[in-house]
Structure 1
Amino acid sequence: MSKRTNDTANASSMETLWKVLRFIGKYRFLLILSIILAAISVILQLYVPVLFGNAIDQVVAEHEVNFRMMWYYLTRILIMVLISSITTWIMNIINNRMTFRTVQDIRAKAIRHIQVLPLSYLDSHSTGDIISRIIADTDILSDGLLLGFTQLFSGIVTIIGTLIFMFSKNIWITLMVIILTPVSFFVAKFISSRSFHMFRKQSDARGRQTALIEEMIGNQKIVQAFGYEDKSSARFAKINNELKECSQKAVFYSSLTNPSTRFVNNVIYAGVALVGAFMIPGGALTIGGLSVLLSYANQYMKPFNDISSVITELQNALACATRIFALLEEAPESADSKETLADAKGEVNIDNVSFRYVPDKKLIENFNLHAEPGKRIAIVGPTGCGKTTFINLLMRFYDVTGGTISIDGHPINEISRHSLRSSFGMVLQDTWIKNGTVRENINIGKPDATDEEIIEAAKRSHSWEFIRRLPSGLDSQLKEDSLSQGEKQLLCITRVMLCLPPMLILDEATSSIDTRTELMVQEAFDRLMEGRTSFIVAHRLSTIRNADEILVMKDGSIIEQGSHDELMAKGGFYQNLYNSQFVKVAE
């Protein structure tokens, strides 16, 4: 790895660390209290070797031991150890609380941020990867922070305290230890700088693996129906192998840290023992004093081993934190207006609109449309011509790249998204229900609706037949797989029937319903659309014959426009499209 890559990784690591510390700053009181308790615990532990040394020095000669003073020192040692254990226990509780609250804040902010991210981000990132960032990556960050708080503070205080006690015993041995210390530090830094890059690659691979697992399990029926098992296994094996290689390299680099620093520390310990042994005959040091210095040399080096382990864990935690903050720092939707669309009449003007998902790839160009209030506008065309994209622009899930869309003379980018979207009722081909009761799934758009209103809407949409057969009726608990696709779509239609919005968007709204029910629902839709501006996307052209105006789209542009009879009389693209469906039916 090049020096420039290492510098970039270090800068990225430090930048991420500062971002994490800003979250921790909210709990600065707990942080300060933890540091104070760590200092108390360490100082008491460091004073124990002094008491042991004094106790050893009470053995003056053979058969000449001052037992009274020895028991005095041993009793004080017991008290010191007991107090130190209690403070360490309290410090660990504080560190746990501070860590989990910090991670809780990060997750809460991530969930809130997802709500304001543009649809383009969610379209370009898999659900599994986003879930991995919020769940798995924050768990690893939590483990790294907990280990850091528990050992980092104690380690730093131990190093400083040990040096002070060692200086009080012997200056020259202490200076020798200080001079050799940077060797251990540079070894740890050299290894950890390389492990961060591998931990980051490991985290990315884990996110892609989670995304693949979520996709394959969620669509297991489709995987088996199309015989995709072997290919999905091969894809998983490839990502799994990549994760294995990244993990092995990350663990290899990180595992070098502890033995390397321990080797340096053992060399320093041996040096203290050798130099101290030569000082005893001259009277510069007692046997008890040497035992104190050896104990301190061991305790002084131990924090470096602990800190090196902490650094390894922190590298993994910060690599995961980098992915989390990448999500948190993603630009939200463009600023929303505070203007509301009150009592919408449903006049829609689309003036010279253009849109591209990708900057260098055209999709919709020079799109123009004027829809009078109460008109039924049908949109037809081959797959990929821009029908659903037009709906996304109308609802402002995406912003146009050129031109304007206006409702009742108000450009939609000057209206709050909530006000705009609450003026539309949508029934899409892709259905959606949430975990909750039938009632909660129907009254999403009108939470204050009475049971009578809900039942009436369900009867109009012909969903009451299956709702009343459920174990608890409106109070029955639903999950994603509780209902058939057709029942889900009827439930979505019921939502619209309940809200009665001024404008409607029906995108293949009856695609999953049997023919008999579709005819009845279509009658209900006809009554619902009376006096409401409606946009109907349909592939079955027989369902839009009564539309006031039909837009025929191809390659993002309107190529034909008019009523069904007018378009059939033209003998153009629409006529061919319409006739081809009925030829297939006849055959």
Structure 2
Amino acid sequence: MNALPVASAKEVRAHARRIASRHPRGLAGVVAVNALAAATGLAVPWLLGDLVASVARGRNDITHYVLLICLACVTQATLIRFAMYAAAVLGERVLGELRQQFVRDMLALDLNTIENADRGDLVTRTTRDVGTLSTTVRHAIPETLIALLTIAISLGALILISPLLVLPCLVSVPILVAASKWYLARARAGYVRQSASYSHLTEGLTETVEGAHTVEALRLTHRRLERVERDIAESYAAERYTLRLRNVFLPICDTTYVLPVAITLVVGGLFYIHGMVTLAAVTAATLYIQQLLGPVDTLLFWLNELQMSGVALARLLGIAESAPPTAPDTCAPVPHSAGNGNWLAIRDVRYAYRPDVDVLHGIDLDVVKGERLALVGPSGSGKSTLGQLLAGIHRPRTGTITFGGLPLAEMPLEELRGKVAIVGQDHHVFDGSLRDNLVIAKSAATDEEIEAALTAVDAWQWAEPFGLDTRISLHGNALTPAQTQQVALARLVLANPHTLILDEATALLNPHAARQAERSLAAALEGRTVIAIAHRLHTAHDADRIAVLEEGRISELGTHQELLEHGGTYADLWNSWQGHAESLS
């Protein structure tokens, strides 16, 4: 299994700029309303400072100031409400774009990449990372924007009141800059490690749960528990590291942003005594600095979330880096295959999961349009690997595979899926109705077509009482593994590709039901090219030709009767299987 890449910080910043450039008006509106809200908030400290000065002069117009302060508070609250609304609307649009882009990037991934990727990594990116990004877009970014604007406008007002009273604020700047540089230099790596630890933990748990029966049968419980404990220990260590960063950074910041208030009171008092500033200026400046504490605190609070969301966005953008380059719209035909009647032509194909360790060795095979070919052989002989190569999931290390004269590897994915489809042992039921799970293969499918597809795989007998619009649920209307397999086969019938590859596609059905389903499926797919990877040899018996694979090589090729007369590996497998079938009966 391979971990998917993570985008660099530079790529994340570039992507953020692209997002901003796509929403200039929305972003400008959010900034403008937030700026107005922050500017309105400056009125209260100024009015309070003027009130103090007025009282000191012996004037008695408190009611006037109270009314103005109330008006300023109501105006600010209204503007903040509009600002939050505008930010929420913009945030949801951006979040929707990010989600759609992520789904597009996921669907554009090469199937080989998905097959080799850590499932825990994929699950964590689609759940935890998307959730982190959602929190940031909905809450962190709007509140951070408001905080930054409030800080900037408050400092501007402070300079206008008295430039001298800005000096206490400068005391904290070097400390905050040093602490922030220390934190930011370590935070990204820490959160990347933390997210990766979640992926490894999810991967280990998923493997253990899905393979629970195998774990129990092979007495691997202790080993799997050790794996989970190691993953938990790594996740714990990663979280403790980021916690230590916060435990150093946040207390320093809490201390430094309180200092200016105390210093302003002392220095402001001295300036007032010496006649350098007015009492109103000292009062307003102190309140402005006190007012800064809230935005600064908000900024520091969300800084940690922004670091986590930056890593989450980097992991989501990393999916795009794994996507293969867009294939050309047209593929040039290969001369040697043109016009020879071969639907699939395989020439000297070799494949290796690990470098220099081939599992397929120089495969040469021609599949004629409309024929039914069975691939048989011992476990580990390369049958499923060859099937995945023919479906375009993997690319051969050397050699070529052409489809109707066109290189399979160069076909656009959408075109390839319309021509070649594969159904294996692993099936998935999507959240939705039975109809929803079928029409994903053909969105315009009618009820009659759906019924015909289910009938073709012997599923209509249970699907009719179940109901096409009944929601499939793990906790209620759950399908059995055999029914799930039939749904996958029905999708294949609806998709109606030119060539079908069946990799133990009826393995979850009992032998009698499997034979019946295969015969019904064959009738429904009359005229289509079918390549069946067979472990039950009745599938091979019904095929037009049989290819026997041994140790990654085709050792025999012919009809059922020809191979029996040859007396080789297939004959031995058939006789052994027949004896086993008779003993079971």
TM-score scaled by length of structure 2? 0.85
What letter corresponds to residue 318 of structure 1 in structure 2?
Answer: G
Which one of the candidate residues 55, 60, 68 is aligned to 1:67? 60
Aligned to 1:187: 179
CA deviations 1:470-498 (Å, max 9, x no partner) are: 243x5544457733333344444455566
Which one of the candidate residues 386, 392, 402 is aligned to 1:390? 386
Which one of the candidate residues 192, 197, 221 is aligned to 1:205? 197
Q: Provide the C-alpha distance between the structure 1 equivalents of 2:495 and 2:183, rounded to a whole number of angstroms.
A: 62
Aligned to 1:276: 268
What letter corresponds to residue 66 of structure 1 in structure 2?
Answer: R
Which one of the candidate residues 15, 28, 31 is aligned to 2:27? 31
Closer, same or farther: CA 544–86 of 1 in aligned 2, 3 Å:
same
Q: Provide the C-alpha distance between the structure 2 equivalents of 1:451 and 1:379, rounded to a whole number of angstroms.
A: 35
Closer, same or farther: CA 216–191 of 1 in aligned 2, 3 Å:
same
Q: Contact (CA 8 Å) 1:548, 1:563: kept in 2 or not? A: yes
CA deviations 1:491-537 (Å, max 9, x no partner) are: 44455566766544333344333333344345445656765543232
Aligned to 1:409: 405
Closer, same or farther: CA 133–338 of 1 in aligned 2, 3 Å:
same
Gaps of 5+ in 1: 1-8
Aligned to 1:240: 232
Aligned to 2:316: 324
Which one of the candidate residues 318, 341, 359 is aligned to 1:363? 359
1:178 maps to 2:170: yes
Q: Provide the C-alpha distance between the structure 2 equivalents of 1:464 and 1:576, rounded to a whole number of angstroms.
A: 38
Aligned to 1:163: 155
Which one of the candidate residues 359, 378, 381 is aligned to 2:377? 381
- RMSD over equivalenced CA pairs, Å: 3.6
Tell me, what secondary structure is at the counterpart of 2:42?
helix
Aligned to 1:135: 127
Q: Contact (CA 8 Å) 2:421, 2:499: kept in 1 or not? A: yes
Give the deviation of 1:111 after TM superposition. 1.1
Closer, same or farther: CA 34–585 of 1 in aligned 2, 3 Å:
closer
Closer, same or farther: CA 124–171 of 1 in aligned 2, 3 Å:
same
Q: Which has the larger displacement, 137-146 or 81-90? A: 137-146
Aligned to 1:125: 117
Q: Which has the larger displacement, 43-52 or 438-447? A: 438-447
Q: Contact (CA 8 Å) 1:337, 1:413: kept in 2 or not? A: no
Closer, same or farther: CA 416–30 of 1 in aligned 2, 3 Å:
closer
Aligned to 1:114: 106
Q: Contact (CA 8 Å) 1:376, 1:547: kept in 2 or not? A: yes
Closer, same or farther: CA 227–102 of 1 in aligned 2, 3 Å:
farther
Q: Contact (CA 8 Å) 1:461, 1:521: kept in 2 or not? A: yes
Q: Which has the larger displacement, 30-39 or 576-585? A: 576-585
Tell me, what secondary structure is at the counterpart of 2:201?
helix
- Equivalence map 1:345-364=2 (5 Å): 347-364=343-360
Aligned to 2:87: 95
Q: Provide the C-alpha distance between the structure 1 equivalents of 2:305 and 2:496, rounded to a whole number of angstroms.
A: 56
- Equivalence map 1:502-541=2 (5 Å): 503-524=499-520, 527=523, 531-541=527-537
CA deviations 1:358-384 (Å, max 9, x no partner) are: 443322232111233443322112222
Give the deviation of 1:67 after TM superposition. 0.6
Q: Provide the C-alpha distance between the structure 2 equivalents of 1:443 and 1:300, rounded to a whole number of angstroms.
A: 57
Aligned to 1:263: 255
Which one of the candidate residues 463, 485, 493 is aligned to 2:481? 485
Q: Contact (CA 8 Å) 1:346, 1:503: kept in 2 or not? A: no
Aligned to 2:3: none
Q: Contact (CA 8 Å) 2:331, 2:410: kept in 1 or not? A: yes
Q: Which has the larger displacement, 287-296 or 98-107? A: 287-296
What letter corresponds to residue 37 of structure 1 in structure 2?
Answer: V
Gaps of 5+ in 2: 1-5, 334-339
Closer, same or farther: CA 448–284 of 1 in aligned 2, 3 Å:
closer
Q: Provide the C-alpha distance between the structure 2 equivalents of 1:282 and 1:377, rounded to a whole number of angstroms.
A: 100
TM-score scaled by length of structure 1? 0.84
Closer, same or farther: CA 435–263 of 1 in aligned 2, 3 Å:
closer
Aligned to 1:22: 18
CA deviations 1:297-353 (Å, max 9, x no partner) are: 333455444333332221121122211111133223651534799xx9763322222
Q: Contact (CA 8 Å) 1:184, 1:304: kept in 2 or not? A: no
Aligned to 2:461: 465
What letter corresponds to residue 290 of structure 2 in structure 1?
Answer: N
Q: Provide the C-alpha distance between the structure 2 equivalents of 1:533 and 1:425, rounded to a whole number of angstroms.
A: 11
Q: Contact (CA 8 Å) 2:501, 2:532: kept in 1 or not? A: yes
Q: Provide the C-alpha distance between the structure 2 equivalents of 1:206 and 1:477, rounded to a whole number of angstroms.
A: 32
Give % identity: 24
CA deviations 1:382-405 (Å, max 9, x no partner) are: 222221122222222223333322
Residues paired across the two proteins, number: 571
Q: Provide the C-alpha distance between the structure 1 equivalents of 2:135 and 2:13, rounded to a whole number of angstroms.
A: 15
